[in-house]
C-alpha cells in the first residue's frame, strides 16, 4: 500500500466553463458546437457539460506543477479558440454572473436525463462550474480512508477557491453561491466517514436505493475514489478564473492526499468528525470565504481561514518540500492575502467598473490569459 505514495503521484484536473456572448455578457447555449471545434485539437480532453452553455476540459496526468500548468494552459487555449469560432468567450466562474436569456437545454447524456427525472425542479438553476483535482491513488481501500483525513479540510478549500458571488444578475452576499446550490442535494457535499471501502460502498448503495443518489457506483461526494480512474478525486472547489490558482490548489491538494495516505499506511483511519458540524462549516465557508473565518472541524472553534491555511501548510509541508511545491503554495497564499479569493476580485471589478458587465469582462480576460494572475505573472517552482 505505502509504495504508491513514496513515489511522486501524478495529478490531473478538470475545469468547467461558461460560454458567454461578449456583447450581452450572457451565457449562450453552444456547448456541442464548441466541443466539436475544440476536439479537433485536443480530442477527448474536452466534453459537454450539464447545461448547453457549459463545457469541460481535462488535463492528462502530470507529475510536476510546471507540467500541469502547461497542460491546463494548452487545453484552456484550445477551448478559448473553439469558443471564438462561434463568436463567444470562455468564462471561468462558479455561477453565471448574468442570467441566460432562456433556460438552457440539458446536455445530451443519459446521466443528465436521469438526474432531471430524479431531482426535478431542484435542477432548474443547476448551472454551476467546478474544478476537480485527481491524485493518483490506485488502492481504493486506501483512497477511502485517505478521504477521512481530507474531510476536515474541505471547507477551507471552499473558502480558498470561492469564485461565485454573483448569480443571474444579483450579488448573493455569498462568496461561493455554487456551494449553496449544491448543498440542497442529499448526494452532494462532504462524504460520510467510512471505516472501509466496503462501508463506503454500503453507504453509497443505501443512498442510491433511497433515490437520493443516482448511482452507487458513481457517487458525487466531494471526495471519492474515481469510479473509472485510479485516482482520489477532490470536488469541492469553484473553478478559478486564473490558471495559477488552479495549479497552486492542486499542489496543496496533492500534498494533503499524500500526507494522509501515508498516515493510512501507518494504520491511522482518520478522524471521525461530526457530519453536521462539517456541513455547517461548508455553509460558513461558502458565505464568508477568504479572508473570513470558519469552523475548524478538528477543534470545533471559529478560526480565520488564513490561520487554518497556515495549519494545513504546516501539516503537509514535508510533502510540499519533497515535491518542490512550497514556493508555489506560498505565492498563492500571498495572493489570497493581497487580493482575496475570486469572489473578492469579482466584487472589486463590480465596484470599480461598469457593474456586472465589468465583472464578466474581468472574468473573460482572466480566463483567456493562462499564467497571468491579478497580482501578475507567477513562477511555478
pLDDT of residue 111: 65
Q: Is 169 left (phi over 0), alpha (psi -120 to 50) or beta?
A: left
Average pLDDT, stretch 200-211? 92
- Residue-wise pLDDT for 3-27, tens only, equals 345 689 999 999 999 999 999 999 9
pLDDT of residue 380: 28
Report the alpha-carbon distance of residue 330 to residue 131 in Å, rounded. Answer: 20
What share of the chain in percent tops pLDDT 70? 90
- At 379, the pLDDT band (50, 70, 90 cuts) reads very low
- At 69, the pLDDT band (50, 70, 90 cuts) reads very high
- Residue-wise pLDDT for 231-273, tens only, equals 999 999 999 999 999 999 999 999 999 999 999 999 999 999 9
More confident residue, 283 or 7: 283
Average pLDDT, stretch 316-333? 98
Report the alpha-carbon distance of residue 324 to residue 231 in Å, rounded. Answer: 21
More confident residue, 159 or 187: 159
Q: Quick one: how far is CA 19 from the chain centroid?
A: 18
Among the listed residues 307, 332, 306, the one whose alpha carbon sits nearest the alpha carbon of residue 251 = 332
Question: For residue 18, what are the contacts with CB-CB under 8 A and spacing of at least 6?
Answer: 27, 53, 54, 90, 91, 92, 93, 96, 127, 129
Q: Which of 140-144, 182-186, 211-215 has the lowest mean pLDDT?
A: 211-215
Helix/strand/coil for 75 = helix
Average pLDDT, stretch 332-346? 97
More confident residue, 244 or 105: 244
E strands along 21-83, which residues?
46-48, 54-58
pLDDT of residue 361: 97
Cα end-to-end span (Å), the chain: 29
pLDDT of residue 7: 84
Examine the pLDDT at 373 and tell me if it is beyond 60: no
Average pLDDT, stretch 216-221? 88
Mean pLDDT of the chain: 91
**Strand partners for 376:** 373
Q: How many CA atoms lie within 13 A of 106 on its CB side?
A: 15
Backbone angles phi, psi at 206, to 5 degrees: -65, -40
- At 341, the pLDDT band (50, 70, 90 cuts) reads very high
Sequential DSSP letters for 168-235 = TTEE-S-SBHHHHHHHTSTTSBSPPP-SSHHHHHHHHHHHHHTTSSS-TTS--BSEEE-SSSSEEEEE
Average pLDDT, stretch 342-352? 96
- Residue-wise pLDDT for 109-122, tens only, equals 666 666 667 666 66
- Residue-wise pLDDT for 144-158, tens only, equals 999 999 999 999 999
Q: Is the dihedral of CA 172, 173, 177, 183 positive or negative?
A: negative
pLDDT of residue 218: 84
- Residue-wise pLDDT for 23-53, tens only, equals 999 999 999 999 999 999 999 999 998 899 9
Amino acid at each position: 500500500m505505502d509504495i504508491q505514495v513514496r513515489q511522486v503521484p501524478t495529478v490531473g484536473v478538470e475545469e468547467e466553463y461558461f460560454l458567454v456572448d461578449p456583447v450581452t455578457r450572457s451565457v449562450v447555449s453552444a456547448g456541442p458546437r464548441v466541443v466539436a471545434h475544440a476536439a479537433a485539437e485536443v480530442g477527448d480532453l474536452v466534453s459537454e457539460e450539464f447545461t448547453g452553455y457549459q463545457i469541460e476540459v481535462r488535463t492528462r496526468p502530470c507529475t510536476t506543477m510546471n507540467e500541469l500548468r502547461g497542460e491546463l494552459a494548452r487545453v484552456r487555449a484550445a477551448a478559448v479558440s473553439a469558443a471564438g469560432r462561434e463568436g463567444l468567450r470562455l468564462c471561468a466562474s462558479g455561477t453565471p454572473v448574468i442570467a441566460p436569456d432562456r433556460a438552457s437545454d440539458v446536455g445530451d447524456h443519459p446521466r443528465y436525463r436521469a438526474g432531471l427525472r430524479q431531482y426535478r425542479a431542484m435542477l432548474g438553476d443547476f448551472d454551476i462550474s467546478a474544478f476537480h483535482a485527481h491524485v493518483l491513488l490506485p488502492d481504493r481501500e486506501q483512497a477511502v480512508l485517505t478521504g477521512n483525513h481530507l474531510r476536515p479540510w474541505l471547507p477551507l478549500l471552499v473558502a480558498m477557491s470561492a469564485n461565485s458571488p454573483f448569480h443571474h444578475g444579483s450579488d448573493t452576499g455569498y462568496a461561493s453561491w455554487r456551494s449553496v446550490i449544491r448543498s440542497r442535494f442529499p448526494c452532494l457535499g462532504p462524504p460520510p466517514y467510512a471505516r472501509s471501502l466496503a462501508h463506503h460502498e454500503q453507504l453509497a448503495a443505501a443512498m442510491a436505493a433511497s433515490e437520493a443518489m443516482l448511482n452507487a457506483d458513481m457517487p458525487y461526494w466531494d471526495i471519492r475514489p474515481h469510479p473509472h480512474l485510479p485516482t482520489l478525486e477532490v470536488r469541492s472547489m469553484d473553478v478559478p478564473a486564473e490558471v495559477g490558482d488552479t495549479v497552486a490548489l492542486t499542489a496543496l491538494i496533492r500534498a494533503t492526499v499524500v500526507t494522509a495516505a501515508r498516515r493510512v499506511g501507518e494504520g491511522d483511519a482518520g478522524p471521525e468528525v461530526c457530519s453536521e458540524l462539517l456541513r455547517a462549516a461548508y455553509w460558513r465557508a461558502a458565505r464568508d470565504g477568504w479572508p473570513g473565518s470558519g469552523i475548524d472541524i478538528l477543534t470545533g472553534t471559529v478560526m480565520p481561514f488564513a490561520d487554518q491555511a497556515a495549519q494545513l501548510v504546516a501539516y503537509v509541508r514535508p510533502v510540499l518540500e519533497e515535491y518542490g511545491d512550497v514556493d508555489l503554495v506560498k505565492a498563492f497564499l500571498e495572493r489570497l492575502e493581497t487580493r482575496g479569493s475570486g469572489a473578492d476580485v469579482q466584487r472589486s471589478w463590480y465596484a470599480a467598473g461598469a457593474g456586472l458587465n465589468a465583472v464578466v469582462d474581468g472574468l473573460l480576460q482572466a480566463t483567456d490569459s493562462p499564467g497571468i494572475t491579478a497580482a501578475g505573472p507567477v513562477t511555478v517552482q
